[in-house]
Amino acid sequence: MKEIERKYLLDASILTFLKHQEDVSIEKLIQYYTKATPTKSIRYRKSSDHYFKTVKIGKGGIRDEVEMQISKKIYQKNRSKAVGEPIRKKRYHVKLDNILYSIDVYKKPFKPLTVLEVEFDTLKAYEAFSLPDVLLPYVEKEVTEDEAYKNKNLALFGLPLRDKEVQGAQSGEAVMEEFQKFYDQIETYRRKWLENKEAEDMHQLRVHLRKTIVLMDAAAFLFGDGILDKHRKELKKILSITNSQRDFDVLLDGLGQMDISREIVPFQGALEILQHDIERLSKEENQNIEKYLKSGHCGSILKHWKDFIEKAYRKHLTFYADYPIESVSGYILKKVHKQVGKKIYQLKKEKMQDLDVLHRLRILFKRLRYLLEVFGPFYSKKKIRKMLARVKTIQDRLGQIHDTHQAQMMLGSWFERNEATQPQIVYLLRTRLIPDLKTFQQESIFKIEKRLNDFLKQDVAF
């Protein structure tokens, strides 16, 4: 069904007016949200001894709404999934000229917010409505179309800023400053790598591409029209092309360490042939990367992104961009942290052996780490340093598991291509290298389990 309503911001003195009205009823409401996006919300509400789940889709004063009564058990069960702050308010119902008005008086931390709501059965009644004269002295402004006053956004970000009031840095501008820093680093390390082919320059290029992509995904709601998603897809093309070189670097580093091991001496000739072949493949990959980073396609992607950062972003900002960066960053960090916790619980059910879940968990920890580094300056340095150290340690361990898996895949592919022509190397792979990788992988999975359990225990501290 359609929810058709108008909303008005009131002065708190409306309570004096209500004291002199007859037939005023009062309803105490407690509600929380398990989903809150710019166009959809899922709300759980307690009203006296009754409980409801409501799904709303849309914006402004006319939205699709589905509401159902639920049990107390379901209401309580879903509280752990809540995003943002719970909302407590006292709702006054009063009839004036046969129209029912609802006046919400919010409790802390939203006090002294007071909002008037009027619901309509038809669009015609909605469009024809005007406030009665008796209420006009208490109305500050209509906020029907102001998404900042939707309860879901109050839950996520707190009280809206009034008249563009700035409390610290605004989130839209603060995020754009980070994008500018990352862009400068991307161009710097792209140029340096093309000049000298240093592995560290390629590593830093990929790091700043990843940081940009992670922040684009996390902050997409600050910008309308799906604009960040378009740029993110383009930058991911550059990252994807440059990423493959890292797998070769890790594998060659591992083989180099085996090269100096006494245990590998009987296989030294086979190992050298294998290293030489992988170095050849790595060199070919480097040439492909160089060609792409010099290409007009790569340059066009970066130029469009630069133009957006310097000129075009302002026309795409949403009302969320006006919130203080502290509120927005807190919401983003909590959201990613919750995703990490869910993935850890999923992994525990799989008995720590699901490599696909481990891979997705690694990506989530990397995302959390990058966002902590971006937003860290807005919080206690000591606490952020501790959290970053824990996150980085787990990310590194999960990275080792991922690198081991990638090495197995690459060696397995080489095995299939050369089984008939290189029996000595195939024997080395079958009897030593691949079994050793599998053993190391299992040992790493065993070690990571305790750290993940410790991370969950410190969830409240975060």
Residue 208 has a pLDDT of 97
The residues assigned a catalytic role are 33
Q: What percent of the chain has pLDDT over 70?
A: 88
Q: Does residue 164 register a pLDDT over 50?
A: no
Q: Which amino acid, one-letter code, is at 45? A: R
Tens digits of residue pLDDT in 417-453 = 666 566 767 777 777 777 777 777 777 777 787 788 7
- The domain limits of the chain are 2-157, 171-457
Tell me which of 284 and 406 has the higher pLDDT: 284
Tens digits of residue pLDDT in 318-367 = 889 988 888 899 889 988 988 888 888 887 776 656 777 888 888 999 99
For the domain made up of 171-457, the CATH class stated in words is mainly alpha
Q: Is the pTM above the cut of 0.85?
A: no
Average pLDDT over residues 154-179: 78
Hey, which CATH number is domain 2-157, 3.40.50.150, 3.40.470.10, 2.40.320.10, 1.10.1380.10? Answer: 2.40.320.10
Tens digits of residue pLDDT in 6-54 = 999 999 899 999 988 888 999 999 999 999 988 899 999 999 899 999 9
